[in-house]
Chain A
Amino acid sequence: MTPKEPKKGDTLPPLTIPVTRTLVIAGALASRDYQDVHHDPEAARAKGAPDIFMNILTTNGLVGRYLTDHFGPDAVLRKVAIRLGVPSHPGDELVLNGTVGSVDGETVVVDVVGTNRLGRHVTGTVTLDLPGGGA
């Protein structure tokens, strides 16, 4: 259900994303990011990582998807600001959680945290317009 009038402090249902090897690689290629650490396990290990890891563009896209999935097709992303923490590797489960930080007319700001088994993978703030849906 899409809440018609989000309020400050509302929590969004979490979105759980299995971080498969396929997702890491498909996300890297769909974002035209050919850095070897996102598709070549040997190269990733040579650079000190235990395995390939998700690129920032995929994380960014998943954060955007989390909110547009929740608020529906009329929601328009205005701003997505993310900071990466621990990496997401194949086999991880990324759980995105969101809390409404503020509501101003049609504009909603949501604080997002994505965690995996290592800790916080992403923290961010997303600003959306909800035409006709705001308070």
Chain B
Amino acid sequence: MKKYLSYLIVSLLFISSTALAQTRDIRGVVSDANGPVPGATVMEVGMPSNGTATDIDGNFRLVLRGNSNKIQVKSIGYKTREVNVQNMTNVNVNLETDAQGLEEVVVIGYGEQKKVTMTGAVSVVSGVEIRENPSASMQNALVGKMPGFFTQQQSGRPGADAAQMYIRGVSSPNDNNAPLILVDDIEFSVDQFQRLDPNEVESVSILKDASTTAVYGVKGANGVILVTTRRGAIGRPKISVRTEYSLQQPAMFPEFLGSYESALLHNQARLNDATLTASRTGNPLNYTPAFSDEAVEAFRTGSNPYVYPDVDWREVLFRKWSNQSRSNLDVSGGTERVKYFVSMGYLDQGGMLKNFGENVGVNNSYYHRRVNYRSNLDVQVNKNLNMRVDLYGNIGEVNNPEMPGTQWGYNDPFYEYSSYLSLSPYAHPAYNPDGSIGYRLNLHPGRYQGPNSIIARLTYGGYGRVNENNMNLVASATQKLGFITQGLSAKGLLSYASEYGYRRSMTRGTFPSYIWDPVTDTYTSYPNNVYRAQRFFDDYQARGTTRVLNYQFHLNYDRTFGNHHVYGLALLNHRVDTRSRGGTAAALSYRPVNFRGYTGRLGYDFKDKYLFQFNAGLNGSPFFSGGNQFGFFPAVSAGWNISEEPFFKDNINFVDFLKVRTSYGLVGNDLMGGQYGYYYLQEYGNSGSASFGTVHNHFGGIHEGRLPNMDVVWEKEKKFDVGLEFKFFKSRLSANLDYFRNERFNILTTRDGNFGTVSDVFGVGSPPANLSRVENKGYEVELIWRDNIGTDFGYNIRAMYSYANNKILFMDEPNPAEPYQRRTGNNINTPFVYKWSGEFYASEEDILASPTHAGARPGDLKYVDLNNDGVINQNDRTYIGAPANIPPATFAVEGGVSYKGFSIKTMFQGSRGFVSGGAAENIQFLGSNMQEIHKHAWTPELGNNAQYPVLTENMGISMPRGETMSTFWLVPADFIRLRNAEISYTIPKSIVDRVRMQSIRVYANGNNLLTWSKLQDRYQLDPEVLAGRDRITYPPQRIINFGLSVGF
């Protein structure tokens, strides 16, 4: 009773004192050694909802309501300060820079954590840095920014130019290595991610080790990308406007030879073939040139360009520069009750192809237009309840030309540009003397017949247009549960993501071009008797509709007892995912696929010095049978802040911060490549038919599908990581070093048919089994040096090197003929090809004296006879070590200097240790349009100095294609690029004030500006191109961007 009484008295006192406490104004300036600190948070102690932020001059004004008479001042990069303001109306607060980065906070799965107490491997890039890159896709802006982040940008097509991304390389041969992407805790697809507007992004973190990814359980093995978006802060409304205009051109685009040189080379090939036939058969030389002397002479002089055209198709089809514009408007601010961040963005990314359709009133150029919108609201309902409502999405349109009649149905002008048989320089004249669209037939042998003039097809063919709508809603409520115990809170979250789209096209197949006869000056239409374009035909296809409903329930605990800091998280996560699915999972299309996850985290630190954390995920998936539905994924980690130890602190002065940390745990991967489905069920299907009866009567058949596997489970990965973080010399030098070893096991493997050990005598598809194991290990080094000289001049340098190389430890591999043909032990992406000896067959005698393939001829590539059996056959193919497509090493060097308002930044980025190359229409003589390299083809005189095998119309064993691929064609593609550069000027405050603005910044930046690559020794290709690609596709772009950013 007495106790209750005292409670009552205390609370009465509290109420009365609150009532008595007068609200009073306090003004002040927050500054550091160099001047005012804008954007610092100023909070009244004891009144967690009463706060403001400093303006650009460091000024603030706060109405005090409580009675602590203290304010707390916080800003990123500074130590937090509490100031007693009793009896003060004006206060100057000096902030000390946080040399150790004690206050730095890192976003991790389902929460955030102080960087000093982190025990896991995480890399972060801020939204500000991302916005320095003008690329239209988020992925491309992240390249080189974070150690452990690997990318390959294979295309530059508007709307589809995002780089492939991997965290710490790849670990599974099943093409299911895509990291999990979460935007504000909501799962995003790669496509959604590339449509994000960088203006909305606060930061991007990647989670690399077990301790940070185990909370995602079965979705964490490939690493996790976490995006947090910008939110409002207490303060007056801030309006920012940013507008940018960019010029784009291909970073690398092949140039082809003109008609004269091409014709000579084609004739040379025919002569080579005829000479060889004559010498092998003993018959007289039977040589018919591909181009007559008259034609060759006309090509040389250009005397008759309509009959003997010499068209520079690059000039005719493509723009010198394409353009992109982007504008953003955002408003943010808030009161203690409501904080808001509202943003709109518009992107218009143009394409390289000229807009031929303009002439007939349609736009069939490549483009991507997108509107992004976001409204992030935080509502402090009362002292204990905080609610968040985010509504965001984008509406986009991606356009491409329709080109009826393209060979192989590629529908791609870049393919035609590269293809000799589609579009050689003498294929047809672009335009006739009267300006009509020109055409010619049968000028050169082998040309693909049928398709009309490329200009006619681009003009009349129409377009295909994809419309996309991605809309997301997230609502959450966080309730502090202090009445149960201090530090406990609960959070409920509901999100609904939806995506739908459709593709509409307008196409037609019949339209004329004209063949001009210079003798009679008459025009004949092609195709015959077609004198006008057919009308357009509409086609409409719905694209997959995706709906993802997610709800989460969190219980959070975080409390400090003296030197002991204890925190924990318990979480339930339900996800219902409905979307279109292909392949063997087609039966699941538009049926909800459910996922359930339980997640737990327990952490403890002592004096910020000894750090421990335990994370675990328990996840259920419907793809497996009863007892296998749930998987448990635990991880433990620990860290030691050595610099906090007295013996260290007192003796070593130049070290500000030094931490070692390590983690070990188990994570899973539920992406099953293309074979996603219920593995424990067997399906029968309809196929085949037979006709019985004296009168034809058709009967359908039924077959047994692949056998089920009741025991199948997901891929799992054991992840080990050890890291060292330090800051030296008053934090001028900081570094992150990591070593990791991952072992992926239980990798789903199909055991029969292609290269498995189960004989086809089995008679039916054998079920996938959890068999293969892959090791992936590597390291990351990041060094940052940051310093100022005086107050006006600052500079920084960052260097980063990431290495991740995988090795197949076990797979279901039958015994190969030769030990070097064993794939086990190699990198997943290592090509299996012939080894080129560095020589060409010099002569018929050389062929007889050397190991050969059937059909070898002088000037063919001489492969290494690996098993020394005197013949070159399939047993001489081998794994060549270096992988293709995904580089094992990537690095970046970044530097910046600033002087007053000026600042310059550059980043060089590169990758090494991988091979690439092209096939067929990319390089092959008479497949590809003729290139400089074909002029240096083998001749007896050039011998081994040749750069290309002998020219021939019937390429045999030297062919750059799947079966005869060799190390002649797959070459090291190591590269270094000037990936990013920016120069900017922030107009001085004094001038900005005069026009009543907050800030004005003008800048120019660029992406992918210069490239040096070993690949260029043989190819005119971008080094990040898909290895073995058989044609040119839309190349990645160099972007030069000019921008203006204004704050009101």
A binds B: no
A-contacting residues of B (Cβ < 8 Å)?
A: none
